[in-house]
Structure 1
Amino acid sequence: MSGRLSLEVTELRIRIPVLSSMLVLAFVAACTDSDEDTPPPTGCAVPETLCWDFEEGTLPTGWTAYRDEFSGQLLVDDSRAHKGKYALHAKGLVGGKEGSQGGPKKTIRFDLPSGFGPVMWGRAYVYTTPARPVSHAGLFNARYPRPGKTGGAIDTLDWYEVATYQQKYMSIWHPPEPPGFPEWVQVSDTPLVLDEWTCLEWLFDGDNGTHPEAADPRVWLNGVELAWPEQFVFSDPPTTVPPVKEKVSHFTVMEAGVFLYQGLSVPTDWWIDELAVGKQRIGCGPD
């Protein structure tokens, strides 16, 4: 018995440090797996994707205030979010006269990394209440130097835009602003969704393969690509000659928020969350 007990004690002494080592390793592995298994923000696993979920509770690094006209605010707050606690909030925008040029504009801008390239996929979740604006309401745009240029001030750049107009989703290609026209306008037959989060995706293909011009903008709503039954040239004075959509060497500047080009009589709020841009489709992902 004493020999067996001695052997069992010896085995126990061996097993205890081995077991301790295994527990330490299991604890470290568990911590490591927990970090690795935590899913990144939707779509941010796609290489070369830039993502902002606004969870800092303030403007993310690199974004700066840009337009600020008429009444309302643009801030990051916790009044409504698609995920997490915070989102970008265009709050109580109102001002100007519907049907006349000039309206509330509250935006931020971001300088893209050098050499971003000529193709931009984008994704944002958007919530709008209480009414659909009739006026042109821009939500996002990306700009690029004209042929032969490598940079320049924002008012020297061509640009693509995602917006709403006449209460429906819209996309535009613009020359430099001002004046920003003649511009190529595409209006969908899909009404702006109110009082719920929607996923907007866009593709700005400024390379467009062997074609001589940049491609028209494309937009998806909750994974379904929008159709453009209404397409026209807007210019002052009017013209029917489409603008030349100059090809992109690289996108340099983005703008986000809400910018109305005509008045807004009903105080309206927008929230933008989980904004992301990249060189490949990012997608909406599960709620």
Structure 2
Amino acid sequence: MRSTSALALMMASLAVGTLSACGDKTDEGPTDAGTGGEATGKCPASAYICESFDNGQNGWKTPDEEHNATITIDSTRTRSGSGALHVVTEAGHNEFPLGEEEDPQTIAHLRKDIPTFGTALYARAYVYLNRAAPQDVMGTYFILFSPKEGSFGGIELQGMVNGGFALDDWSGVEGTGWNYQDDLKVTTSPNRWTCIEWAVKRTNATDTTGRAQVYVDGTLAFDFPNVGMRPFSNFAVGYGFVHPHGDSASETWIDDVAVAPERIGCE
């Protein structure tokens, strides 16, 4: 299952802005670059992105195409400070039957360039969903993407109706693909702020496969094996549905986003 939203991201990435320095929440503290352990939740000095959305768009770019969704930075619901990312997806869009709707997607993200992925990358965001993803539909939170010729591809973290997660892998690496969480001991729930962490790792910077982990409020929810790896250099955060089935209305807020080469954790 390849996210067609990535095609818009691919084209827009050619004009993406330069990486901005961390500025909003950069308090230093001990962090853990491993699979678990202590992490303060504060942005480490090594962070590529520390974003509270209190300064508006602040260098974030939007894809050139809109997909039946709006994405704004406002104060309608914030976890901290005066701003948060606010995504609203439209109702009534359905990719089936094929051919009846030119663009059935309901999805929107903001994106930034990051240093080329080496062996470890950690993303953290606080997410408030007004509802779980619809049945048989996945809601995309994060995207890591490589627009480079010969290394085009990406991976994305998705949420499912049962509060679990899926990993959409359109890296093009042989033997990899869509994977879902089959152990539901740790899940998310709507109508509350949830700390979601996404860890992407490989042993060597030249490896074509690795793993991706997802944490909920600091607890490991799932470990996705055999994930395709590319020289990812673009990070996107937002929400929405690539393959909606008609029940496509949602409202989501995202705040306190951080991306770093070491684990950040939850505050």
- Could you tell me the TM-score, scaled by structure 2's length? 0.70
* 2:265 alignment counterpart: 283
The 5 A counterparts of 1:178-257 are 183-188=177-182, 189=184, 190-205=186-201, 207-209=202-204, 213-227=208-222, 245-248=227-230, 250-257=231-238
CA contact (8 A) 1:68 1:107 kept: no
SS in 2 for 1:194: coil
1:85 is displaced (CA, Å) by 1.4
SS at match of 2:90: strand
Matched, 1:168 2:145: no
- Residue 209 to residue 164, structure 1, CA distance change in 2 (3 Å): same
- % of aligned pairs identical? 21
Specify the alignment match of 1:16 in structure 2: none
CA contact (8 A) 1:46 1:282 kept: no
2:247 & 2:46 partners in 1: Cα distance?
43
CA RMSD of aligned residues (A): 3.2
Q: How does 1:1-287 map to 2 (within 5 A)?
A: 40=27, 42-56=41-55, 58-70=56-68, 72-97=69-94, 102-113=104-115, 115-134=116-135, 135-144=137-146, 151-152=148-149, 157-176=152-171, 183-188=177-182, 189=184, 190-205=186-201, 207-209=202-204, 213-227=208-222, 245-248=227-230, 250-263=231-244, 264-265=246-247, 267-285=249-267
The separation in 1 between residues aligned to 2:53 and 2:140, in whole angstroms, is 20
AA aligned to 1:106 is A
Change (3 A) 1:202 1:84: same
Q: CA deviation at 1:50?
A: 1.6
Q: Report the CA distance between 1:266 and its aligned residue.
A: 5.4
Gapped regions of structure 1 (runs ≥ 5): 1-37, 146-150, 232-241
Q: Per-residue displacement from partner, 1:199-234 (whole Å, max 9, x unpaired)?
A: 0001111x3249964222100000110136xx8xxx
| Distance in 2 between residues matched to 1:87 and 1:210, nearest whole Å | 34
> Of Structure 1 and Structure 2, which has the larger fraction of its residues in helix?
1
Q: Is the 8 A contact 1:66 1:109 kept in 2?
A: no
Q: 1:66 to 1:60 in 2, by over 3 A?
A: farther
AA of the residue aligned to 1:257: G
Structure showing greater radius of gyration is 1
Q: What stretches of structure 2 of length at least 5 have no aligned partner?
A: 1-24, 29-40, 99-103
CA distance in 1, matches of 2:204, 2:119: 11
The CA deviation at 1:75 is: 0.4
1:91 offset after TM fit, Å?
2.0
Which AA in structure 1 matches 2:167? I
Q: TM-score, normalised by structure 1?
A: 0.66
* Length, aligned pairs only: 220
In the TM superposition, residue 196 of structure 1 has moved relative to its aligned partner by 0.4
| Contact preservation (8 Å) 2:157, 2:168 | no
2:187–2:216 Cα contact (<8 Å) kept = no
* Cα pair 2:195 2:218 within 8 Å, conserved: yes
User: 1:24-55, CA deviations, whole angstroms, 9 ceiling, x for partnerless residues?
Assistant: xxxxxxxxxxxxxx973952234244211100
CA distance in 1, matches of 2:77, 2:205: 44
Q: Distance in 1 between matches of 2:180 and 2:123?
A: 18
**How many angstroms apart in 2 are the aligned matches of 1:40 and 1:81?**
20
Q: Distance in 2 between matches of 1:212 and 1:40?
A: 33
